[in-house]
Structure 1
Amino acid sequence: MQAATLPFSSGWRWIQDGLDIFKRQPLAMLFWSLMTGLIITVAYLIPLFGQMALIAAMPILTFITLNSSRNIIAGKQMMPGMWLAPLRDREARRSLMRLGMAYLICCLLGGFLATLPFMNELVAAVRTDGSIDETALLQAIRSPFITFGVLYLLISALFWHAPALIGWHRIKLIQALFYSMVACWRNKWPFLLYGVSWGAIFLAAQLLANMLVGLGLGTGVVQLILTPVNLVLAAILYCSFYPTYMSVFGVNYPTQDPTETPFA
């Protein structure tokens, strides 16, 4: 699989392309945004195991998202039965489940490696009577969070393109991780712009919420206003995953008619 090297501006272009996909079928992608949010909420209601299951399910959720965008680009109206259609392929489903377990293991290992060097500081935040010094704990967890953030960037690069490579092209897991890492490295600057841009967009939404509260609106009213905004932003974010893949690996399909389904 040959990965294209794209200019820095492609990071913003991916977001614009995601918006274009969203505009084609906004209700369908809002539905998926709502369902994904519900899945995340339910997962966090189940201590530890819920979060672990959510992490393991991420490749499958990503693959469903990619397929929905592919169908929308192809001019197919997303119907209820189409969302889980990509998982009917037994081989693809099993491969994605294995990818999910690998993702979970990498995240757990990353958390362990990020925490281990700072265990003394974390333990010191617990007083002899068993109570927790919150100030000391906040200072102690800062370094592990930063370390894990750096490690997670590497993990994300490994797994970013892997669901599509495995689900669509039947590439073996190790090869898919390698191709994904190479593709992300070649396009590190566009991905930097992509990540910074999305961070700025969601930060702007939060600042808008704070401004509305400052103007005297109740938190309940502000939440009512911001909920659909966040759903729309999340839907556009999900739509933008597909352009990040096709613009990098679409070079393997130079004769593909853009109005047709990119993959058979």
Structure 2
Amino acid sequence: MANSSNNSSNKLPAQTGWLWVKQGFALFRKQPAEMSTLFLSYMFIMFGIGIIPVIGQLLPLILVPVFSMGFMQACVEIEQGRRVYPNLLLTGFRSPAFFTLLKLGGLYLLAAVLAVAASSVIDGGVFWQVMSGQIELKEETIAGSNMSAAILVTAALYVPAAMAFWYAAPLAMWQKMGLFKAVFYSFFAVHRAGKAFLVYGLAWAALGVVLPTIVSILFAAIVGKAGAAMLLMLPLSIVLTVVMYCSFYPTYTGIFGRPELPSADQELQK
């Protein structure tokens, strides 16, 4: 396995963040249909889990680290010239680190709940009620509250948690770290590569939000129908989301090096 201190002791230049984005596009271009199928399979599973009463609202968040390793493994397969199949989504479930990944998902959920709950100080709990399904998100709800500020506060409070979780799943599974060691290494790895992650985040904000918005406005103006823009937005959003998932892997290899692993088929045969 790659040494956890392989590259993490060196601060990365800011332009590395854009390089990670380009590497994500490069991985996607090698198997676009396969990666899109993997993502759609994931969304279908999440939809199925979501309709389960009570726990269906919690399980998708708890299982994020488990399923994320399926996408990470898919990038390994692409890099090594192997075909990506939907059964890669089982990678995390078949791993000896499965229960560590589940615990990580529990921490992920806890951090999200605490961040949203803390925003109640700003808007009197409106954002919390919307997120928990107690009230519907309506225009008058937003207009009569400080919910926009509450969302910003929630995002700011969640940043340290996001740093701690970013690499925790692959560190737990690929480098066999315990839960808190993985979280610790992840936080400080992201912290040391802060400039690169700032560029990475800004790039995805532009590509994932600004670009689709501009494209949809231009398309609607040309066609003359606002509804027609949705026909373009859906596939564009799917593609960009899958590319973003692909770009997670270069952020890991850029700091911790490439994982020395058997193929997914060999893992699943164990």
- Please tell me the TM-score bracket, short chain as reference: 0.7 to 0.9
Say yes or no: does 1:11 pair with 2:17: yes
The change in CA–CA distance for 1:59 and 1:80 in structure 2 (over 3 A counts) is closer
How many equivalent residue pairs?
247
**Separation in structure 2 between the aligned mates of residue 114 and residue 120 of structure 1, nearest angstrom:** 7
What code does the residue aligned with 1:165 have? Answer: L
User: 1:59–1:96: 8 Å Cα contact kept in structure 2?
Assistant: yes
**Separation in structure 1 between the aligned mates of residue 127 and residue 241 of structure 2, nearest angstrom:** 34
CA-based RMSD of the aligned residues comes to 2.8
Say yes or no: does 1:110 pair with 2:118: no
The change in CA–CA distance for 1:135 and 1:25 in structure 2 (over 3 A counts) is closer
Q: Deviations over 1:214-264 (max 9, x none)?
A: 2344344322222222221111111100000010111xx7xxxxxxx6335
**Separation in structure 2 between the aligned mates of residue 48 and residue 141 of structure 1, nearest angstrom:** 26
The corresponding residue for 1:25 is 31
Alpha-carbon distance, 1:42 to partner: 5.4
Match of 2:219 among 192, 212, 216: 212
The corresponding residue for 1:237 is 244
Say yes or no: does 1:101 pair with 2:106: yes
User: 1:70–1:262: 8 Å Cα contact kept in structure 2?
Assistant: no
> Computing the radius of gyration over CA atoms, which structure comes out larger, 1 or 2?
1
The corresponding residue for 1:126 is none
What code does the residue aligned with 1:232 have? Answer: V
User: 2:28–2:242: 8 Å Cα contact kept in structure 1?
Assistant: yes
**Separation in structure 2 between the aligned mates of residue 209 and residue 136 of structure 1, nearest angstrom:** 25
Greater relative contact order: 1 or 2 (C-alpha under 8 angstroms, separation 6 or more)?
1
For 1:262, what is the secondary structure of its paired residue? coil
Name whichever of 22-31 and 210-219 sits farther off.
210-219
User: 1:5–1:248: 8 Å Cα contact kept in structure 2?
Assistant: no
Q: Deviations over 1:155-198 (max 9, x none)?
A: 11010000100111110111111100000100111111111111
Identical-residue share of aligned pairs (%): 27
Alpha-carbon distance, 1:47 to partner: 8.4
For 1:171, what is the secondary structure of its paired residue? coil
User: 2:142–2:148: 8 Å Cα contact kept in structure 1?
Assistant: no
The change in CA–CA distance for 1:216 and 1:198 in structure 2 (over 3 A counts) is same
The corresponding residue for 2:260 is 262
TM-score between the two structures when normalised by the length of structure 2: 0.81
What code does the residue aligned with 1:244 have? Answer: T
The corresponding residue for 2:124 is 119
TM-score between the two structures when normalised by the length of structure 1: 0.83
User: 2:27–2:246: 8 Å Cα contact kept in structure 1?
Assistant: yes
Runs of 4+ in 1 over 3 A off after TM superposition: 36-51, 80-83, 120-123, 135-139, 261-264
User: 1:65–1:239: 8 Å Cα contact kept in structure 2?
Assistant: yes
What code does the residue aligned with 1:64 have? Answer: G
